[in-house]
Structure 1
Amino acid sequence: MTQTAPPTATAPPDDVVPGAEIYTPEFRADPYPVYARLRAERPVVKVRTPRFDSFLVTRYDDAKQALSDPRLSKDLYRAGDTYLAVFGEKARQINTNMLNSDPPEHSRLRRLVTQAFTPRRIETMRPRVEQIVEDLLDRMAPRGHTDFVDDFALRLPLAVIGDLLGIPETDHEEILAGTQVIRTVGTGGRSPQEDRAAIGQAQQRLHAYFTGLVAAKRREPGEDLVSALIAARDGDGRLSEAELVSSAFLLLFAGYQTTSDFLGNAVVALLTHPEELDRLLADPGQVPAAVEELLRFDGSVPVSSFRFATEDLEIGGVPIPAGSIVTVVLSSANHDPELTEDPDELRLTRGSTSHLAFGHGIHYCLGTALARLEATTALRRILVRLPDLRLDVPVEDLQWLPAASAFRGLLALPLRFTPTQGGTP
């Protein structure tokens, strides 16, 4: 990894960088040298892509400020033509949720969802998470090889969040198909127009599915999260039908895709840093601390969801005109030397850092406890159940998601290990 150079003067505010200069094939495999260069030379820079321009915020202090700045709106409806240019009209029906709202509406939505997403509820999931992990490893262990993404990383969080939301296991493949169309946009050789059409169709199918799920839970409530969301209420009343459907979709996608991609990233990071892996194998009790360092080192959410400037403002001394899109580069902030020493090195014993892998401010990820539970449980058991774990292809042959994707993750992760028989050792 490349170390960050000393800061230089901020680029002129009218300096617009073509996205092609940043989102290269090399960036796709390892974005961190580019982030280091941006932090040093252009820490707040306007980047032009075929669909829209966005100001990238790459330094830790600037990122933390931007994530809590009330002048940067998450309300997509306030963005007007900018919203339509970026997302399209059809996306509105699945975006009526707390992620895409500002106070006081955000406060109301988050308060209602939090009632049904308590730490106590998450802790009751622990035995089920452990069982899912063991079942998946039981299938993998005798073979001695696997595509970790397809056989484990996608399956674990989908099963967990599916249980939490009350999604029948028979529907998991339908959910998987729809979400993967959205996640892997740009990888199928389609034109941008065809990609947008495919995403729109997938969103429509998922919206229809969750509309039906909410209706079914309203008729026959259960112990699941969707039923709890239907019942949740505060002084302002309950979630509307649109808010229920959109919130269920958000919890699925945020609670499943981010964890899935992180698991793959974490395994690659460990396998490409054998001394750190050996240290963890010698002391599995360090797994929770290791998870925090792995989140900082190569998290699955490289950038924040879009924000829109509601008025003229400045970030890092750079003017941001009202109406501009602002993107906080979380992965760059997590590699800023202002956050921690030698940030491009993986050190599982680094200790606590205030990393931004789960965001910051009022939109801080609601599912952090569940993500940590899944990641720590998975890594503990993988280290035991898959001995002599190693990459089955050269690291440079790994296929990552497109450079401009909202996620940092792998399309596939071929692994080999010594096969084992029987149940849990």
Structure 2
Amino acid sequence: MSQSTDFDLTSSQTAEFDLTTVAFKSNPYPILARLRTHDPVYQYTSSPDGQSTWLITRYEDAEIVLRDERFVKDKQSTLPPEERAPSAGPAPSVSDLFDLGMLKFDPPDHTRLRKVVNLFFTPRATEQWRESVQRISDELIDKVESQKRMDLIEDFASVLPIRIISEMLGVPAEDSMQLHLWTKRIADALDDPAAFEQVASDLQAFYTYLLALVEKKRQASTDDLVCKLMHASVEGDQLTERELVAMIFLLILAGHETTTNLIGNGILALLTHPEQKQLLQAQPELIKPAIEEFLRYLAPFTITTHRWAREDVEMRGKLIRHGDAVLVSLAATNRDENKFDHPDTLDITRQENPHIAFGKGVHYCLGAPLARLEGQIAINTLLRRLPAMQLDIEPEALVWRTGSTVLGVNHLPVTF
């Protein structure tokens, strides 16, 4: 599988080195650590048709890929002008959800899209949702408290963020769980062409729903984020209707997945490190550094989205050629021993914690302030109201989600 000449995974490890498998996702760190040490710029066959991708596992190199203009998000920009296809088709279609999404573009197009929506996701803007996050957290615990057990993912971690983003966008409360189902299926299929074909109907249904939502808001304007985005203008720039639909899709998909996995992974980390759980219960003011440590130790996403080399780039003695695909392993770089002391140790008091769970550079996660707010309130509320919470399953028996992108478990049974 490796295209490198100085290092190869053993045959058993090669079989495991498939970023989409549950086996790899359940504990990717030993293999990633070996790559980080011996072959930090690693080329592997990433698809059945033989396409290769470079995997970056060292923090220093990741910063270059995420910040350097030689690595771009729009693959079309790596092609000669005469070979470039338009960014989207001439008529609206479901492909707009990805083709016109902010993650697809580089500056200046990315800058134009981001500055229109950025005003609504600053730390100050997201602070107004504190009471709603607290209210929903308490409501969800109220529902299960008498049962003395729950699935922390299905009953709490996946419900809280979808309800918050639904309230923000003005989505009817009764529709929020349908959005949850669509986003989970789509997220699990990202970067897996075969799996993505299986969710085509979900994607089409999601797209149809968003079109109807925008039309409804256009007919009766309300004070919610969809209407605000519809009319937002920064220096004369506004979103087209097709861009608006793609933006709403991104906010729901990325916002829901990031926070679901942050809460789920954070609680899992605490329950498997009881001394850290006890420390946070005794000192709830440690929640801010604790959230940063959860983001580093078990980042909500295993890898970044693709970058493409706009020109030949030499890195660690390897030649990344013009047009090559590049991924940064967040799971690897956030445990780089050259950047973090005792990187495989969970330490909620860690002060120097420049993790890149939310990325770096111009594509730094727009929703990071909201995810942090939700994570802080949710986890402290769970620990305060359910102090005796413990796993109702052996950690080794947990089933991790498929797909190469997200990092989280499907279910997290707990008792309290």
Residue of structure 2 in register with 1:6 after alignment = none
Residue of structure 2 in register with 1:93 after alignment = 96
Mapped contact 1:301–1:357 kept (Cα < 8 A): yes
Which residue of the other structure, out of 38, 42, 49, is the alignment partner of 1:41? 38
42-51 or 353-362: bigger deviation: 42-51
Residue of structure 1 in register with 2:121 after alignment = 117
Residue of structure 2 in register with 1:67 after alignment = 66
Mapped contact 1:15–1:46 kept (Cα < 8 A): no
Which residue of the other structure, out of 146, 151, 163, is the alignment partner of 1:147? 151
Change (3 A) 1:367 1:340: same
Mapped to 2, the partners of 1:254 and 1:233 lie a distance apart of 23
The answer as to 2:347 corresponding to 1:352 is: no
Residue of structure 1 in register with 2:28 after alignment = 31
Mapped contact 1:117–1:225 kept (Cα < 8 A): no
Deviations 1:79-116 (A, max 9, x none): 67x999xxxxx763102122110111111111111133
Mapped to 2, the partners of 1:381 and 1:270 lie a distance apart of 14
Mapped to 2, the partners of 1:94 and 1:15 lie a distance apart of 38
Residue of structure 2 in register with 1:5 after alignment = none
Q: What's the offset of the Cα at 1:17?
A: 10
Mapped to 1, the partners of 2:312 and 2:223 lie a distance apart of 47
SS in 1 for 2:221: coil
The answer as to 2:181 corresponding to 1:182 is: no
Mapped contact 1:76–1:83 kept (Cα < 8 A): no
Q: What's the offset of the Cα at 1:117?
A: 2.9
Change (3 A) 1:132 1:339: same
Residue of structure 2 in register with 1:3 after alignment = none
Residue of structure 2 in register with 1:411 after alignment = 410
Mapped contact 2:334–2:355 kept (Cα < 8 A): yes
Structure 1 segment 136-175 matched on structure 2, within 5 A: 136-175=140-179
Change (3 A) 1:76 1:94: farther
Change (3 A) 1:35 1:367: same
166-175 or 230-239: bigger deviation: 230-239
Residue of structure 1 in register with 2:136 after alignment = 132
Deviations 1:279-325 (A, max 9, x none): 11111111111111111111111111111112211233321111111
| Percent of pairs with identical residues | 37
Report the AA paired with residue 57 of structure 1.
I
Mapped to 1, the partners of 2:339 and 2:187 lie a distance apart of 29
Mapped contact 1:93–1:242 kept (Cα < 8 A): yes
SS in 1 for 2:68: coil
Residue of structure 2 in register with 1:329 after alignment = 329
Mapped to 2, the partners of 1:127 and 1:25 lie a distance apart of 37
Q: What's the offset of the Cα at 1:196?
A: 2.7
SS in 1 for 2:281: helix
Report the AA paired with residue 129 of structure 2.
M
TM-score scaled by length of structure 2 = 0.89
Mapped contact 2:78–2:322 kept (Cα < 8 A): no
Change (3 A) 1:241 1:16: farther
Mapped to 2, the partners of 1:114 and 1:205 lie a distance apart of 27
Mapped contact 1:181–1:198 kept (Cα < 8 A): no
Mapped contact 2:42–2:56 kept (Cα < 8 A): yes
Structure 1 segment 191-340 matched on structure 2, within 5 A: 193=194, 195-340=195-340
SS in 2 for 1:141: helix
Which residue of the other structure, out of 15, 19, 22, is the alignment partner of 1:20? 15
What is the root-mean-square deviation in Å for CA atoms of aligned residues?
Answer: 2.6
Change (3 A) 1:105 1:215: same
Q: What's the offset of the Cα at 1:15?
A: 7.8
Report the AA paired with residue 93 of structure 1.
D
The answer as to 2:377 corresponding to 1:380 is: no
Change (3 A) 1:210 1:247: same
Q: What's the offset of the Cα at 1:22?
A: 1.1
